Amino acid sequence: MAGRISKASLSAWRKKRGGASPDVTRCGQATFNWGQRTYIMGIINVSPDSFSGDGLSTIDAAVAQAERFVDEGVDMLDVGGESTRPNSAPISVDEELRRVIPVLERLVGRVKVPLSVDTYKFEVARRAVYTGAEMLNDIWGLKQEPRLAQLAAEQGLPIILMSNQRDKPVRNIVPAVIEDLKRAIDQSLDVGVPWQNIIIDPGVGFGKTLEQNLELVRRLDELKMLGRPVLLGTSRKSMIGLVLDLPADQRLEGTAASIAIGIANGADIVRVHDVKEMMRVAKMSDAIIRSK
């Protein structure tokens, strides 16, 4: 099996940084009690070239989907304007703002769940927070824009830190992801982000091979050594397509399997395109896993 990181060293690191096991994170009017159940993050893609085929081209369509997700029981909504599929072309700050801000403006005060903004650009994040976003989701884990941690600290917002290997592929994936997330957590703490406001994401599909993505889900429990709640995003991703030989719009069952196993291995949040179905998967998984 690939390398592992010493539990003792991570325990000493947590003690030094003053962190305990994850318990409660507050986000706007919501309170997330980690370990009690799995929380569902619904994806609102306002990018026309989304890998999943669910990109929404109008504000009305995005708002309608967000309201449907809330009716289906979603716990938080993640609004993003730039495609994260491999080899996609970056868009300008102005274009991302044009896509994201009008949707947030319509949703603030209209939905009763926290709104997250999926961006690694400081100006987009700043404007989104000014508009009403209550959580930051950084797919680069501060490697592209360290100021996102400062923004989270200043505004008292939770921040999701993802491990992304697109800039530098690695061989032993789990130790590399743990070290990368540890680095991002340290950066956040150093600028004043409270321990309880940090959420981590292994970054399934971002610079990893199929085998590495499968290994991450299989060994997800090792990330719990970092002491922070874990977000898992496998919904409709290419690893499912490669295993099942199916296009993005036919990966529901594969997504459900990966989410159920992810929950069994310690996922606290699952980020999904199909809220109603994955709510059921999470509820059943929680009944089995967390009832003990």
In this predicted model, what pLDDT tens digit does every residue of 125-143 receive, in sequence order?
Answer: 999 999 999 999 999 999 9
Tell me the C-alpha distance between 191 and 154, whole Å.
9
Q: pLDDT: is 278 or 58 the higher one?
A: 278
Strands of the chain, DSSP E: 24-27, 30-33, 39-45, 76-80, 115-118, 135-138, 159-162, 198-201, 231-232, 269-272
Query: Residue 221 is encoded by which pair of tokens?
Result: 């429990």
Catalytic residue list contains 271: yes
The CA radius of gyration of the chain, in Å to the nearest whole number, is 18
Given 237, 283, 290, 292, the catalytic residue: 237
The residue segments making up the domain with residue 114 are 36-289
The answer to the question of residue 6 being in a domain is no
The answer to the question of residue 184 being in a domain is yes
What's the confidence (pLDDT) of residue 20?
Answer: 62
The answer to the question of residue 85 being in a domain is yes
Which pTM does this prediction carry? 0.94
The answer to the question of residue 245 being in a domain is yes
What's the confidence (pLDDT) of residue 292?
Answer: 63
Beta-bridge partners for 78: 43, 116
Q: How confident is the model at residue 98 (pLDDT cuts 50, 70, 90)?
A: very high
The answer to the question of residue 131 being in a domain is yes
Given 37, 121, 224, 271, the catalytic residue: 271
Residues 150-156 have a mean pLDDT of 98
CATH code at position 166:
3.20.20.20
Percentage of residues in the chain having pLDDT higher than 90: 85
* Alpha-carbon distances, residue 157 vs 60, 193, 197, 206 (angstroms): 27, 8, 7, 24
* Average confidence score pLDDT of the chain: 93
Q: How many domains does the chain have?
A: 1
Catalytic residue list contains 147: no
The answer to the question of residue 173 being in a domain is yes
Q: How confident is the model at residue 161 (pLDDT cuts 50, 70, 90)?
A: very high
